[in-house]
Chains A and B, each alone.
Chain A
Amino acid sequence: MTKLIPIGCTRRQGYRAIVLRPGAQELENNFTMKLSLSRVVQGCRLGTLSNLGKKGDRCMEFPGCLLYTRTGSAPHLTHDTLQVISGVPAMTQLTLSSLAEHYEILEEYKEGIGKFIGMPESVFYCSLHDPVNPCPAGFVTNKSVSVWGVGGRLEMTVAKFMAIQQALQPDWLQCLSDGEALCADASSSKRAKKSVDRTLAFLDECLKLQEQSEVLRSCVMIGVIEGGDILEERLRSARETAKRPVVGFLLDGFHGDAMTKETRLRLISSVTAELPENKPRLICGIGQPDEVLECIEAGVDLFESFFPYQATERGCALTFSFDYEPNPEDMVLQQNGQKEGEENGEHIDKIITTKCVPETSFEINLKEKMYRDDFGPLVGGCSCYCCKNHSRAYVHHLLVTNELLAGVLLMMHNFQHYFGFFHAIREALRKDRLGQLKELIYRQAC
């Protein structure tokens, strides 16, 4: 029972033979998911994942993102408002932190989280943590990892973790991992090594338990790459994890300010070079459009979609353009539109009070007074429900009066806009226009 795994990204570099444990081979064989790579352009992979889901009949393109949820539901959205959005990803991200405390209910329910939350048609990836709500550090031990739910801290040993997953029955699950290599003030090589050792140990224990459960065998494991900012540890994590029968890889610990952009991208590229071509690479905590593009160039395939949610929570609408082949007429209109906005903003600044500052340059803050009588859509040409039916003035009014509908409408727009962005990335890769898209996005990234 040997397995050949490629060394590096291209098969030219040869293969390495490793011996698998008996059960592991079976697990490996159980993978029905297939990854088809159609092109690789400047490091960016374009392709399709097929045979996804319990029935093996779903597929998903990459680069792509997963639908972000909070406690099993897209934020602010019911099924009716969710399904009006174009381009909703086939795979939904659930977070263990929001669901773990309810596992007894799910155990009794027996039919799995998809049906429980009213999304029986979706494919699910269960991550450990929520990218939006960082949890307090310092609670990972050799034996357990903790997540924070509404009811407080939930400590999970491997056994508990797998029991919870057995009740949830996601399609993919992030294996228990130690993501705290960079949480202390000083990054240490020792701590990085520990994060890799622990994560591998957790992975092996989880795999062992998985072999013993029929139900768990249909929930496949995503191996987690740790190692902080230490290159050797990252490489070791990648190589070792790749030996295990995992369906894909999560690049953890690259979010936040723990390392410089250069270090981050260098490490990501080094890691993905060690990973097999035929398995997807996920990354957590990265959502801003420019950072997404950089990571795709570094070999990442799948992202989360918490970024549009964060924009929604600050009362902002994503407005960045990903139309790298605009109609020349539209370009003039766009420029004029922006100019008007700036002028109004300055004028009002002189008279009245505090101007709300958008968090990123990819969005506009609808609370700003300039939108009070702007009867245009959030984004010209956008075909989302909000832009087709409502105006900036209306959303402004909803925000000023603290109305719940503001969140609903902004979420609908922001999700559709973000999913549209990923579609544009795939199109750009297909048509060899990546350079133009990059230039457009980076221009807006000030």
Chain B
Amino acid sequence: MAEPKDPLSMRCPESMTAVAASTTSLGTRAPAALTLRVVAECSRSKARACELRLPHGTVATPVFMPVGTQGTMKGVTAAQLDNLGCRICLGNTYHLGMRPGPELIQKASGLHGFMNWKRNLLTDSGGFQMVSLLALSEVTEEGVRFRSPYDGAEILLSPEKSVEIQNALGSDIMMQLDDVVSSTLTGSRVEEAMHRSIRWLDRCILANQRPDQQNLFAIIQGGLDPALRRKCLEEMTKRNVPGFAIGGLSGGESKEQFWKMVTLSTDQLPREKPRYLMGVGYATDLVVCVALGCDMFDCVFPTRTARFGSALVPTGNLQLKKKQFAKDFRPIDEACTCPTCQRHTRAFLHVLLHSNNTAALHHVTVHNIAYQLQLMNAIRTSIVEHRFPEFVQNFIKTMYGEVGHCPTWAVEALQSVGISLS
């Protein structure tokens, strides 16, 4: 069901439709649902600080996007998430497509309306979940065929179907359906998946019924093979998509292979479009990959580890359930401005985590989200203030004590973009 294209209409009261970043073949201006403005660039590394304008507001990058899988950020309310400064978060197409389903969400005015989140949303295609969660999924040229774990029905998730669901969800950024293979896989399957992903990208672009309100991102595949990656980059960058994700990493591959694929990818991606590195969320990885030129990140780690009582701090993490915190009357992090650290001690959280009151989990979740957002903010400020390399050096020192303890891959990755750690 195609909606009439009216460049000046404001269909979503809260949305900001930015005007003209692209022109159609007829020379008329089509509204762009995304504009990226590079605010500052590191003179040494590939790091940049940008402003990303999306239908539900501006997002400062580099940005970490918390993952709210089923239309909720676990025990954190939309108001709390907003107060923490979050301006974009994730929803999962696979989960929401299963429950409660796209028709219901559309009735609820999209995912924004359903979860009452007024800021930006990014949805993935559902492809990754399918491959990782389902024992019996089968990939064909058509799409991914699988059995619903809820009622056993056979379902085909095609590029068209994935985009259709994401159109119903109404996310500001949606991801193409890609042919996902494990990063440890080698051989012809990887190449097949890369080529198929390109074909699926084209099908997704065609299927997008709301390009003026929803931005479809391509996902660069190619596994750990530089030649395949380059081929994929060459082809996908020919397509007029508003942004690119670097996919197929953050699986079981070695960090050494990982960073090389990241930097290879950013080298070939256009400057004026955002680069989204999927599935990355550990602090060190974030810092390094910003240096390598990435703008956007997502990961379940911070929120998931919170629910196990693990609080993120500049020196790593605190396992708050452990005895050593029983009489520790300091906040999780003295420098943290989050509501948990403003009011509570490690000792109290220790006690609460040993009870069955879920409030304990929420306290740590709030803190971990705040930690991630504060980290990205600090990174960004250092880029804007032209002292990103110094920031990196301090970060590594705090996290690892001394340079010698910093993992080799990180040292080499930073070295490759002109940041030395001695």
Contact A393-B108, Cβ < 8 Å, known A71-B355, A403-B74, A405-B72: yes
| Cβ-defined contact, A79 with B339, below 8 A | yes
Task: Flag whether A438 is at the interface (Cβ < 8 A).
Answer: no
| Cβ-defined contact, A78 with B104, below 8 A | no
| Cβ-defined contact, B359 with A116, below 8 A | no
| Cβ-defined contact, A80 with B83, below 8 A | yes
Contact pattern, B 320-363, Cβ under 8 Å of A = 1, otherwise 0: 00000011010000000001100111011001101111111111
Chain A stretch 395-429: residues in CB contact (< 8 A) with chain B: 397-398, 400-401, 403-405, 407-409
Contact A79-B74, Cβ < 8 Å, known A102-B351, A150-B355, A404-B358: no
User: What chain A residues lie within 8 Å of B366 (beta carbons)?
Assistant: 78, 80
Tell me, in angstroms, the Cα distance from A108 to B360 when the chains sit together. 22
Tell me, in angstroms, the Cα distance from A79 to B327 when the chains sit together. 22
Contact A403-B339, Cβ < 8 Å, known A80-B83, A150-B354, A389-B116: no
| Cβ-defined contact, A375 with B351, below 8 A | no
CB closest residue in chain B, given A403: B72
| Cβ-defined contact, A70 with B356, below 8 A | yes
Task: Flag whether A166 is at the interface (Cβ < 8 A).
Answer: no
User: What chain A residues lie within 8 Å of B347 (beta carbons)?
Assistant: 105, 109, 116
| Cβ-defined contact, A72 with B339, below 8 A | no
Tell me, in angstroms, the Cα distance from A78 to B358 when the chains sit together. 9
| Cβ-defined contact, A78 with B339, below 8 A | yes
Per a CB cutoff under 8 Å, which of A98, A373, A403, A409 touches B70?
A403
| Cβ-defined contact, B348 with A117, below 8 A | yes
User: What chain B residues lie within 8 Å of A72 (beta carbons)?
Assistant: 348, 351-352
Task: Flag whether B71 is at the interface (Cβ < 8 A).
Answer: yes
| Cβ-defined contact, B351 with A71, below 8 A | yes
Tell me, in angstroms, the Cα distance from A79 to B363 when the chains sit together. 9
Task: Flag whether B305 is at the interface (Cβ < 8 A).
Answer: no
**Closest CB in chain A relative to B414 CB, distance in Å:** 37
| Cβ-defined contact, B108 with A408, below 8 A | no
Task: Flag whether B107 is at the interface (Cβ < 8 A).
Answer: yes
| Cβ-defined contact, B77 with A401, below 8 A | no
**Closest CB in chain A relative to B367 CB, distance in Å:** 10
Q: Which of B74, B100, B339 has the most CB of A within 10 A?
A: B100
**Closest CB in chain A relative to B343 CB, distance in Å:** 4
Task: Flag whether A278 is at the interface (Cβ < 8 A).
Answer: no
| Cβ-defined contact, A397 with B100, below 8 A | yes
User: What chain B residues lie within 8 Å of A109 (beta carbons)?
Assistant: 327, 329, 347
User: What chain A residues lie within 8 Å of B356 (beta carbons)?
Assistant: 70
Tell me, in angstroms, the Cα distance from A405 to B114 when the chains sit together. 14
| Cβ-defined contact, A408 with B75, below 8 A | yes
Q: Chain A: interface residue count, which band?
A: 35 or more
Per a CB cutoff under 8 Å, which of B100, B114, B357 touches A73?
B357
Task: Flag whether A372 is at the interface (Cβ < 8 A).
Answer: yes
Tell me, in angstroms, the Cα distance from A150 to B351 when the chains sit together. 10
Contact A75-B74, Cβ < 8 Å, known A109-B329, A116-B348, A400-B99: no
Tell me, in angstroms, the Cα distance from A409 to B115 when the chains sit together. 12
Contact A73-B72, Cβ < 8 Å, known A105-B326, A108-B327: no
| Cβ-defined contact, A118 with B348, below 8 A | yes
| Cβ-defined contact, A389 with B355, below 8 A | no
CB closest residue in chain B, given A412: B77
Task: Flag whether A217 is at the interface (Cβ < 8 A).
Answer: no
Task: Flag whether A385 is at the interface (Cβ < 8 A).
Answer: yes
Q: Chain B: interface residue count, which band?
A: 35 or more
Contact A76-B357, Cβ < 8 Å, known A105-B326, A108-B327, A109-B329: yes
User: What chain A residues lie within 8 Å of B329 (beta carbons)?
Assistant: 109
Tell me, in angstroms, the Cα distance from A15 to B347 when the chains sit together. 51
| Cβ-defined contact, B359 with A404, below 8 A | no
User: What chain A residues lie within 8 Å of B74 (beta carbons)?
Assistant: 403-405
Tell me, in angstroms, the Cα distance from A405 to B116 when the chains sit together. 13
Tell me, in angstroms, the Cα distance from A153 to B250 when the chains sit together. 47
Per a CB cutoff under 8 Å, which of B71, B83, B358 touches A75?
B358
| Cβ-defined contact, B351 with A105, below 8 A | yes
CB closest residue in chain A, given B328: A105
CB closest residue in chain B, given A70: B357
Tell me, in angstroms, the Cα distance from A81 to B359 when the chains sit together. 10
| Cβ-defined contact, A408 with B362, below 8 A | yes
Contact A385-B79, Cβ < 8 Å, known A73-B359, A79-B339: yes
CB closest residue in chain A, given B358: A76
Per a CB cutoff under 8 Å, which of B95, B104, B358, B361 touches A373?
B104
| Cβ-defined contact, B72 with A77, below 8 A | no
Task: Flag whether B129 is at the interface (Cβ < 8 A).
Answer: no
Task: Flag whether B241 is at the interface (Cβ < 8 A).
Answer: no
Task: Flag whether B131 is at the interface (Cβ < 8 A).
Answer: no
Task: Flag whether B80 is at the interface (Cβ < 8 A).
Answer: yes
**Closest CB in chain B relative to A82 CB, distance in Å:** 9
Per a CB cutoff under 8 Å, which of A80, A394, A407 touches B80?
A80
User: What chain A residues lie within 8 Å of B278 (beta carbons)?
Assistant: none
Task: Flag whether B78 is at the interface (Cβ < 8 A).
Answer: yes
**Closest CB in chain A relative to B173 CB, distance in Å:** 22
Tell me, in angstroms, the Cα distance from A109 to B326 when the chains sit together. 11
**Closest CB in chain A relative to B72 CB, distance in Å:** 4
**Closest CB in chain B relative to A109 CB, distance in Å:** 6
Task: Flag whether A391 is at the interface (Cβ < 8 A).
Answer: yes
**Closest CB in chain B relative to A76 CB, distance in Å:** 5
Task: Flag whether A203 is at the interface (Cβ < 8 A).
Answer: no
User: What chain A residues lie within 8 Å of B108 (beta carbons)?
Assistant: 375, 391, 393-394
CB closest residue in chain A, given B114: A394
Tell me, in angstroms, the Cα distance from A76 to B76 when the chains sit together. 10
| Cβ-defined contact, B99 with A78, below 8 A | no
Contact A397-B326, Cβ < 8 Å, known A76-B362, A102-B351, A407-B358: no
CB closest residue in chain B, given A394: B114
User: What chain B residues lie within 8 Å of A407 (beta carbons)?
Assistant: 75, 358
Tell me, in angstroms, the Cα distance from A105 to B74 when the chains sit together. 30
| Cβ-defined contact, B355 with A98, below 8 A | yes
Task: Flag whether A74 is at the interface (Cβ < 8 A).
Answer: yes
Task: Flag whether A430 is at the interface (Cβ < 8 A).
Answer: no
Tell me, in angstroms, the Cα distance from A79 to B77 when the chains sit together. 13
CB closest residue in chain A, given B357: A70
Tell me, in angstroms, the Cα distance from A441 to B182 when the chains sit together. 61
| Cβ-defined contact, A372 with B100, below 8 A | yes
User: What chain A residues lie within 8 Å of B345 (beta carbons)?
Assistant: 116
**Closest CB in chain B relative to A258 CB, distance in Å:** 27
Tell me, in angstroms, the Cα distance from A71 to B387 when the chains sit together. 46
User: Could you pull out 28 A-B pairs where Cβ atoms are within 8 angstroms?
Assistant: A70-B357, A73-B359, A76-B359, A77-B362, A78-B80, A78-B366, A79-B343, A80-B83, A81-B80, A84-B79, A108-B327, A109-B347, A118-B348, A150-B355, A385-B79, A389-B79, A390-B116, A393-B100, A393-B104, A393-B108, A393-B114, A397-B71, A397-B99, A398-B72, A403-B74, A405-B72, A405-B74, A405-B75
Question: Given A79-B339, A150-B354, list of 9 further CB < 8 A pairs?
Answer: A73-B352, A84-B79, A98-B355, A109-B329, A118-B344, A389-B79, A397-B99, A398-B72, A407-B75
Nearest first, the 4 A-B pairs at minimum CB distance are A71-B355, A404-B75, A118-B343, A405-B72
Q: B residues near A, CB below 8 A?
A: 70-80, 83, 95, 99-100, 104, 107-108, 114-116, 326-327, 329, 339-340, 343-345, 347-348, 351-352, 354-363, 366
